[in-house]
């Protein structure tokens, strides 16, 4: 069992809060280990043969699988439990955040007063509609919520709940996405010693901090849309002794100068944007990279190439967890989008990034798990 590392702005847990949060994390594990697999059995033994009998062929795509699986009581039970557990995950963390918020806000303020990194907020910032339209992952208030002056609640909520959501698979500091992408980058580009690195959609800085730790001489920047979440990221980074420059900016159009960065990265943000935003983010990455610089946008497994049933299960979040763009992004021809954004043919490719510590418990049991990453060399 992995325990989350406590730091200055992460809410503590009373006995009852810990019991409730651990209960929901255990339910998630139980669903992944003991219930999710039953969907495959039901599909193979009951749903697919019935489809075959009616249509004279197997379901051809995930849409056809969905049309029959969502009518089966086993899948309905599984899906309802997943959804309920997601709602209760947030709910159970809210108690700790509300109880400790004045203290957490004060600690973030104290960290900011002696900070080595920086935090730049933009009072005129306009959050993109694809993030305000609904609460992604059902997070109350979404990524951009800001409850009061000096607020860190959005970050505090996200940090603990995401650890639970990932069932500890992202490690005690929830940083395995970052450390995995760094390992891939180092193996792939041993000659690049970055001086400036940007992490787009950094949220609480979970994946940003490892870049600073891996390249201590580099200036590391993180951008995101939410005031509260960035204030939390800043307090968290400082309390862990890892100085990063955070700012409130839209990855589609930042205020960084042309050619400012050696490396521009993101960890699982693209599937939460939109069809017009994706090419803009690739083009913006290219604009702010120096000649010879590299962009790496890592995201969830592609749907193409999966068997219809696996693609159906992998898409659960799209229909049930407010990740509507998640299916579209995972089917877009992102290499072509990278070329349209100005990267030369052959210098923008899709590669699979292996996790440094492979997940022990998976929700959807996708075969050959790894995070596809769009790599563009300027
Ligand atoms: C799933 S979270 C990313 C998690 C984080 N990168 C990590 O590795 O822990 C997606 C983040 O992308 C941010 N985001 C989405 N669109 C963005 C945009 N256009 N500009 C900046 N941030 C954006 C969201 O606000 C959210 O914080």
**Which pLDDT value is given to residue 363?**
63
pLDDT value at residue 365: 53
CA of 200 to the centre of ligand 1 (A): 7
- What's the structural domain count of the chain? 1
CA 114 to centroid of ligand 1, rounded, Å: 26
The pLDDT score that the predictor gives to residue 255 is 98
| pLDDT of the residue at 76 | 98
Per-residue confidence (pLDDT) for residue 131, from 0 to 100? 97
Q: Which parts of the chain have pLDDT scores under 50?
A: none
pLDDT at 357: 82
pLDDT, residue 367, reads 53
58's CB contacts (< 8 A; 6+ apart) are: 48, 51, 52, 308
Residue 53: predicted pLDDT: 97
SS (H, E, C) the chain: CCCCCCCCCCCCCCHHHHHHHHHHHHHHHHHHHHHHHHHHHHHHHHHHHHHHHHHCCCCCCHHHHHHHHCCCHHHHHHHHHHHHHHHHHHHHHHHHHHHHHHHHHHHHHHHHHCCCCEEECCCCCCCCHHHHCCCHHHCCCCCCCCCCCCCCHHHHHHHHHHHHHCCCCCCCCCCHHHHHHHHHHHHHCCCCCCCEEEEECCCCCCCCHHHHHHCCCCEEEEEECCHHHHHHHHHHHHHCCCCCEEEECECCECCCCCCCEEEEEEECCHHHCCCCHHHHHHHHHHHHEEEEEEEEEECCCCCCCCCHHHHHHHCHHHHHCCCCHHHHHCCCCHHHHHHHCCCCCCCEEEEEECCCCCCCCCCCCCCCCCEEEEEEEC
- Domain boundaries, position 115: 1-378
Residues with CB under 6 A from ligand 1: 128, 131, 143, 177, 200-203, 206-207, 223-226, 250-252, 267-269, 272-273, 277
Residue 222 CA to ligand 1 centre (angstroms): 10
- Taking CA atoms only, the protein residue closest to ligand 1 atom 16 is 273
- Name the residue of 121, 198, 224 whose CB sits within 8 Å of the most ligand 1 atoms, as the mutation to test its pocket: 224
For residue 366, what pLDDT is reported? Answer: 57
CATH number, domain at 355?
3.40.50.150
Q: Please count the other Cβ atoms lying within 10 Å of the Cβ belonging to residue 81.
A: 15
* pTM confidence score: 0.96
**What pLDDT shows up at residue 303?**
87
pLDDT at 65: 98
d(Cα 167, Cα 331) in Å, to the nearest integer? 27
Half-sphere exposure of 267 (CA within 13 A, CB side): 27
Which ligand 1 atom lies nearest to the CA of residue 177? 8
Pair 373, 352: CB distance under 8 Å: yes
């Amino acid at each position: 069992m992995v325990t989350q590392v406590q730091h200055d702005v992460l809410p503590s847990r009373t006995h009852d809060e810990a019991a409730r949060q651990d209960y929901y994390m255990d339910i998630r594990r139980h669903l992944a280990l003991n219930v999710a697999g039953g969907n495959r059995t039901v599909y193979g033994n009951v749903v697919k043969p019935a489809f075959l009998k009616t249509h004279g062929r197997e379901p051809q795509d995930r849409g056809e699988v969905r049309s029959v699986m969502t009518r089966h009581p086993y899948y309905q039970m599984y899906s309802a439990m997943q959804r309920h557990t997601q709602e209760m995950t947030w709910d159970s963390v809210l108690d700790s955040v509300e109880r400790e918020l004045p203290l957490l806000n004060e600690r973030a303020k104290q960290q900011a007063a002696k900070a080595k990194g920086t935090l730049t907020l933009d009072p005129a910032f306009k959050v993109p509609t694809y993030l305000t339209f609904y609460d992604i992952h059902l997070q109350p208030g979404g990524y951009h919520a800001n409850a009061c002056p000096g607020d860190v609640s959005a970050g505090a909520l996200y940090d603990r709940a995401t650890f639970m959501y990932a069932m500890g698979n992202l490690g005690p500091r929830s940083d395995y996405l970052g450390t995995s992408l760094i390992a891939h980058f180092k193996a792939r580009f041993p000659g690049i010693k970055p001086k400036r690195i940007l992490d787009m959609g950094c949220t609480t800085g979970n994946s940003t901090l490892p870049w600073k730790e891996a390249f201590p001489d580099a200036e590391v920047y993180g951008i995101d849309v939410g005031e509260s979440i960035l204030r939390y990221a800043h307090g968290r980074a400082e309390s862990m002794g890892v100085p990063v420059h955070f700012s409130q900016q839209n990855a589609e159009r930042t205020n960084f100068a042309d050619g400012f960065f050696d490396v521009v990265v993101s960890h699982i943000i693209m599937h939460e944007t939109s069809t017009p935003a994706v090419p803009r983010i690739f083009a913006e990455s290219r604009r702010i990279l120096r000649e010879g610089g590299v962009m790496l946008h890592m995201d969830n497994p592609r749907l193409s190439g999966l068997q219809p049933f696996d693609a159906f299960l992998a898409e659960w979040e799209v229909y049930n967890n407010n990740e509507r763009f998640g299916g579209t992004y995972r089917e877009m021809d992102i290499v072509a989008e990278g070329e349209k954004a100005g990267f030369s043919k052959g210098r923008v490719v899709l590669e699979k990034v292996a996790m440094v510590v492979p997940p022990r418990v998976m929700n959807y049991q996708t075969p050959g798990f790894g995070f596809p990453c769009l790599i563009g060399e300027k």
